[in-house]
Amino acid sequence: MQILVLNGPNLNALGYREPDIYGEETLDDIESLMRQRAEDLGDIELDFIQSNHEGALIDAIYTHSNWDGIVINAAALTHSSTALADAISTVMIPAIEVHISNVHSRPEAWRHQSFLSPVTWGQVSGFGYRSYLAALDLLYSRLAEEQQP
Ligand code: DQA
């Protein structure tokens, strides 16, 4: 099973970026935790990518268009990118939208809107780094069920 984990703008700064909101874990920490969880779950290949550029994230979706699932924290692009939403619906790969913070309880109204929600299977928001692990569990459980002979 092949799962793409995509991380958008400013997530490279996790660890020192507003730690009261995003926690103390770095993106490398999150990658290690996900790789460990993937190993525990079974036969999962993970590609873990971060970019500050919308086009690079879209390109990554197309270069993985024959993969089985996507976990995506599009960061601020969640709230603005119709192009990213179109790429996800074009490849028709089951995707889970992830947020470290609970975007719905944040004070900025623009964080309450997601262009990805209509094209993703569901959203995991507000559980810190655990949002990523929960998304991996959920995707694995769906894909394993679908891939049963
Ligand atoms: C975020 C929430 C977004 O609103 C914000 O722009 C981010 C991170 C999160 O993981 O909580 O960069 O996606």
Residue 101 sits in a domain whose CATH number is 3.40.50.9100
Instruction: Name the residue with the closest Cα to ligand 1, atom 7.
Output: 75
Instruction: Please report whether residue 18 resides in a domain.
Output: yes
DSSP 135: H
Which runs of consecutive H residues, i.e. helices, occur in 101-146?
130-146
115 found inside a domain: yes
Each of the 149 residues of the chain gets a pLDDT tens digit; together they read: 999 999 999 999 999 999 999 999 999 999 999 999 999 999 999 999 999 999 999 999 999 999 999 999 999 999 999 999 999 999 999 999 999 999 999 999 999 999 999 999 999 999 999 999 999 999 999 999 999 88
Specify if 69 maps to a domain: yes
Look up the domain containing 130 and give its range: 2-42+56-144
**Inside any domain, residue 51:** no
Kindly state whether residue 111 falls inside one of the protein's structural domains. yes
The reply to whether 34 falls in a domain is: yes
Phi then psi for 94, rounded to 5 degrees? -60, 130
Count of domains observed in the chain: 1
Residue 62 a catalytic site member = no
pLDDT of 89:
98
Ligand 1 mean position, distance from CA 99 (Å): 6
Ligand 1 contact via 70 beta carbon (within 6 Å): no
pLDDT of residue 127: 98
CA-wise closest residue to 71 among 124, 110, 28: 124
Q: Tell whether 49 is covered by a domain.
A: no
Q: What's the confidence (pLDDT) of residue 149?
A: 85
Whether 60 is in a domain gets the answer: yes
Dihedral angle sign, alpha carbons of residues 8, 16, 24, 38? positive
Active site residue 99: yes
